[in-house]
Amino acid sequence: MKEDNVRIGIVGSKFAADFHADSYRRHPRAELVAVAAIDNLEPFAAKWNIANTYSDYREMLKQQKIDLVSVCVPNFLHYEVTLAAAEAGCHVLCEKPLATTVEHAREMRDVCRKKGIKLFYGEDWCFSPSLRRALEIVAEGGIGRPLYIKAKECHNGTHSPFAKAKDTCGGGSLIHLGIHPVGWALHALGREGSNPVVEVIGKCNDGKQDNFVHKDNGGEDFGLGIMKFADGEFALVEGNYITVGGMDDKIEIYGAEGVLKADLTFGSNLSVYSRPGYGYCIEKTDTTTGWTKPAVDEFFNLGYVDELAYAVDCVAKDQEPAYYAGADLGVACIEIINAIYQSHRTGAAVKGRWGEKT
């Protein structure tokens, strides 16, 4: 396969599928051969010039020769699509979260490993150019030993009925948004699985009428978690649906000799003042009037382009994914989110060992 294109099939046709297709189109060896979805199928295929379309992803797996499957469906379907792709002999890149339950996430990892299937976990923050540079500075000793991280992803709520329903999402804003800070904190402080999280404390709303704003959401619209690592570092992670004005992704790293801060979504070098407004600023903005900071290349800056390029390269070269791009990270994220929910329910810290490389 070293000299061949990597043949890709996408399952799904909405937001995540769109940035997967955009990212693959930028890679010279990525070939989009097929897409399967139950709606928006033909417009999506036409937009990205994908010749083969299927209303049933199982038929796509049977009829097409595919090397890598992108799983871009609602959370509760990640499990079944990943296992079906693995059974068909396809490597898999699964969007976050890996699954809606710990048991399913572990089974996905173990089945793929047993079958020799590469299972990539789609944590784009690990590939964000800004956050990569941040960790280079940390590795140089630029802020001394990192002691504490604050990280959040927040916006004003989801429109997806599957994300609003607790059963199909796996929870609320923590599993849907806060999972990004959890995964990146594991990458930043976990030293590739050698410095696991050993204690978790969590607090969140309980969904429906207990939510601050989104009373029709079965899961929480606000949540926080504190992660303690084996070597003593802490991370505070947040995911909420109560933040208006656009998606707000930020990290802060506090070291013994310095501080580092990064703004993934409002850090554009463009500033625009507009009376009539314009087409698009950043994800989840309500308006483009007044002063705004529009994204220049949102998919690249958030890490999607390099994340998917990495998966294509690993398949082409028959290399296993690194910890920060593989199933172990995806499983640990679900385990930690589950522990945050457990801590909230019980009012007590939850102890364990999450994030070790297996």
Residues 218-271: tens digit of each pLDDT? 999 999 999 999 999 999 999 999 999 999 999 999 999 999 999 999 999 999
Q: Is the CB of residue 175 less than 8 Å from the CB of residue 330?
A: no
Return the sign of the alpha-carbon dihedral for residues 164, 170, 175, 177.
negative
Task: Please tell me whether residues 315 and 219 are part of one structural domain.
Answer: no
Distance CA 126, CA 311 (A): 13
Let me know if residue 154 belongs to a domain. Answer: yes
Average pLDDT over residues 76-93: 98
Rounded (5°) CA angle 223-151-183: 85
Strand partners, 326: 120
Q: Please tell me whether residue 134 adopts helix, strand or coil conformation.
A: helix
In the sheet where 68-71 sits, what is the strand order? Answer: 52-54, 30-36, 6-11, 68-71, 91-95, 119-122
For residues 75 and 244, what is the distance between their CA atoms, to the nearest angstrom?
24
CATH number at residue 36: 3.40.50.720
Q: Is the peptide bond before 97 cis (omega within 30 degrees of 0)?
A: yes
- Position 4 pLDDT exceeds 90: no
Question: Would you say residue 63 lies in a domain?
Answer: yes
pLDDT digits (tens, 9 = 90+) for 93-119: 999 999 999 999 999 999 999 999 999
Same domain, 51 and 140: no
Could you tell me if 118 and 130 lie in one domain? no
Range of the structural domain that residue 87 is part of? 6-125+304-323
Mean pLDDT value across residues 351-357: 97
Beta carbons of 134 and 161 less than 8 angstroms apart: no
* Residue 162 sits in the same domain as residue 291: yes
pLDDT over 70 (residue 195): yes
> What is the per-residue DSSP string for 165-179?
SHHHHSSSHIIIIIH
What confidence score (pLDDT) does residue 1 get? Answer: 40
The 8-class DSSP code of residue 5 comes to: P
At residue 220, the 3 state secondary structure works out as: coil
pLDDT at 28 over 90: yes
What is the pLDDT, as a whole number, of residue 3?
55
Give a yes or no: residue 68 inside a domain: yes
CATH number for position 259: 3.30.360.10
- Mean per-residue pLDDT of the chain: 97
Residues 159, 273 within the same domain: yes
pLDDT in tens, 131-174: 999 999 999 999 999 999 999 999 999 989 999 999 999 999 99
Q: What is the pTM of this model?
A: 0.97
pLDDT at 299: 97
- Could you give the C-alpha distances from 317 to 4, 65, 284, 313, in angstroms and in order? 10, 18, 37, 6
* Claim to verify: residue 114 and residue 206 sit in the same structural domain: no
Total domain count, the chain: 2
Q: Which two tokens stand for residue 32?
A: 């989009």
Distance between CA 96 and CA 105 in Å, rounded? 11
Work out the angle at residue 161's Cα, subtended by the Cα atoms of residues 160 and 166, and round it to the nearest 5 degrees: 110
Please compute the mean of the pLDDT values over residues 314-325 and round it to a whole number. Answer: 98
Tokens 């941040």 sit on residue: 134
| Percent of the chain clearing pLDDT 90 (strictly above) | 99
Q: Tell whether 205 and 191 lie within a shared domain.
A: yes
Shared domain for 75 and 135, answered yes or no, is: no
pLDDT at 343: 98
Alpha carbon distance 347, 240 (integer Å): 20
Compute the residue count for the chain. Answer: 358
Question: Six-digit token pair at 221?
Answer: 């619209």
Rounded distance, CA 298 to CA 292, Å? Answer: 15
Using the predicted structure, report yes or no on whether residue 2 has a pLDDT greater than 90. no
Instruction: Tell whether 1 is covered by a domain.
Output: no
**Do 84 and 61 meet the contact criterion of CB atoms below 8 Å apart?**
yes
| Cβ(120)–Cβ(94) below 8 Å | yes
Rounded to whole angstroms, how far apart are CA atoms 271 and 210? 38
Neighbours of 273 (CB within 10 A): 8
